Chains A and B, each alone.
Chain A
Amino acid sequence: MKILVAVKRVIDYNVQIRVKEDGTGVVTDNVKMSTNPPDDNAVEEAVKIKEAGKAKEIVAVTVGEDKAQETVRKALAVGADRGIHVKVEGTIEPLAVSKVLQKIVDKEKPDLVFMGKQAIDDDCNQTGQMLAALLNWPQATFASKIEVKDKSLEVTREVDEGLETIEVNIPAIVTCDLRLNEPRYASLPNIMKAKKKPIEQINASDLGVDTGQRIQQIKVEEPPKRKAGIKVANVEELVQKLKNEAKVI
């Protein structure tokens, strides 16, 4: 079995986001970038499946600017076998990403495609479901547990009501929740070894995919700020304030 894992480079989850003064976006210069957190879970799950002897090859793919390659390199350092970097400049929407990934799937013919359930930059939560639609494959989104069976996967999904279990035929798309597993750290020897693993470079334009924007970003602004609150001295004062000042209890 072959697993394709899609990873995205985003602003690190610990960075305090600052909006640009001209309203064109958020500040990314000199800001720490990392792999989108649930994409790390997707890589980890693929590696675990390979370690269990149920997969032969893991291919990590990213779609983005030159530096997006770092995320593929990181996946290679924790166990992916080779990488693909589809180069595209500027913003690319989930629909276009899923069309690019569709081309990669056509070429690589994986049995499974894994990725994070949501990117923490645009918070869209679309790409996996869109790719599943374009390929006419089943989708198992928000996965917190995956069991590999003969010709299918049994997936536990985190939904608003609690947990849901579905069985999807292989080939399938799985989008991963943060609770799926605990991503490992790459060891130094593995980071060195990963530098020798191949990353194929492809230009998005050569795939014949229209990556033009369908959604215009008119402006980006800071959300309204909350007015500063107060510290109360004790529980009694807290309850009095809630009762008489805020009038919420």
Chain B
Amino acid sequence: MSVLLIAEHNNKEVKPFTLNAITAGSQIDQDLHVLVIGNKADEVSKSIAQVPNVKKVIQIDHEIYENYLPENFSPVIIKQAENYSHIVCSANTFGKNLMPRVAALLDTSQVSDIIKVISPDTFLRPIYAGNAFATVKSTDKKKCVTIRPTSFDPAATSGGSAEIIKAEASDATTLTKFIKREEVKSDRPELGTARVVISGGRGMQSGDNFKLITAIADKLNAAIGASRAAVDAGYITNDHQVGQTGKVVVPDLYIAVGISGAIQHLAGMKESKVIVAINKDGEAPIFSVADYGLEADLFEALPQFLEELNKLNTIQK
């Protein structure tokens, strides 16, 4: 039994969730190999080889892999999969797009978005937006599993020295063409891995009002999140959405501002360690998951909040 993990990266750096997936993968089996498919991704392979949990790195390099199209990735993964009992990757948009294509080609019923490894064939996963947890056992010979990264700690990044071997590329797809990626560049911590997240909802009333949130995020070195309502209304871009169909976050501190707390939003944040809710509707469901609820008009509360933070001598970053 060994595990093949598909690394997510941008050809220069490993994406942080790959490290969380490595932790989960090595809980399935110690013999964990990482497949780096990319274009001139030598640096990625080198840094993954230093992760102590990784026993081997397989690198497949070709320009056709620059933009991680699943139509190009799946044939090489299938070829490599022969020697492995488990194929795993993280359950973010990268893995969600890729893994089912691989699983279907292997005739395997995929186990999505696991939050716990119970045994090599049995996993815990949330269903119904996290309102129920299912323990499931895969009976397929080869198992395809995606991992909810925020449910596992990131693996250590130094101390290992796995061997790096090269494997051959497959033919390029003619079905799909990559055109462009519009990445929202930010100096803030990434939403998925930030220690503090402050999110705004429909109650923000406009995109411009998000500057009240930005000011506090600056002070706390926080990532900025949003409810679907705020994204739908055009207040903020989709990469900020937290929830069942957006991102799942588990920060030490989650501050929900002007968010009513629909179950679809709670699905993305209710595992946070400490939850603060600021809402003028005292009956809003967000208060049912909040450790500290403040029933107040956010347009008064946020400037006061910033003022109080400014009074503190020290703030954890």
Contacts and interface: CB of A to CB of B under 8 A. Distances in A.
Interface of A: 11, 13, 16-17, 19, 26, 38, 93-96, 98, 117-118, 120-134, 136-142, 144, 154, 157-169, 172, 177-179, 213-223, 226, 229-232, 234-236, 238-239, 241-243, 246, 248-249
Interface in B296-317: 296, 301, 304-305, 308-309, 312, 315-316
A217 B127 CA distance: 12
16 contacts: A26-B131, A117-B245, A121-B128, A129-B99, A133-B100, A165-B179, A166-B179, A168-B175, A177-B245, A179-B232, A223-B131, A229-B287, A232-B294, A234-B294, A234-B304, A248-B273
Contacts of B133: 220-223
B135 A134 contact: no
B194 interface: no
A159 B95 CA distance: 11
Contacts of B103: 95, 126, 130, 133
The SS class assigned to the B binding surface is mixed
Given A162-B237, A162-B238, A165-B180, A94 B126 contact: no
Contacts of A117: 245
Interface stretch (B19-27, B66-74, B159-167): B66-74
Given A98-B104, A164-B180, A165-B179, A126 B93 contact: no
B109 A161 contact: no
Contacts of B92: 160
B46 interface: no
Contact of A169 (B128, B174, B252, B304): B174
B97 A129 contact: yes
B110 A223 contact: no
Given A130-B100, A215-B139, 4 more contacts: A95-B104, A157-B93, A162-B238, A172-B175
A126 B197 CA distance: 29
B77 to A, nearest CB: 11
B256 interface: no
Contacts of B158: none
Given A160-B92, A242-B253, A248-B252, A120 B296 contact: no
B253 A249 contact: yes
- Which 3 A-B pairs have CB atoms at the shortest separation, nearest pair first? A129-B100, A214-B109, A130-B104
Contacts of A234: 294, 296, 304
Interface in B160-203: 173-184, 192, 196
Contacts of B290: 229
Contacts of B289: 226, 229
B223 to A, nearest CB: 13
Contact of B109 (A95, A139, A168, A243): A95
A230 B293 contact: yes
Contact of A138 (B110, B175, B274): B175
B97 A142 contact: yes
Given A93-B109, A95-B104, A130-B104, A163 B292 contact: no
Contacts of B253: 242, 246, 248-249
Given A26-B132, A229-B293, A124 B101 contact: no
A168 B177 CA distance: 6
Given A125-B96, A163-B238, A249-B316, A120 B129 contact: yes
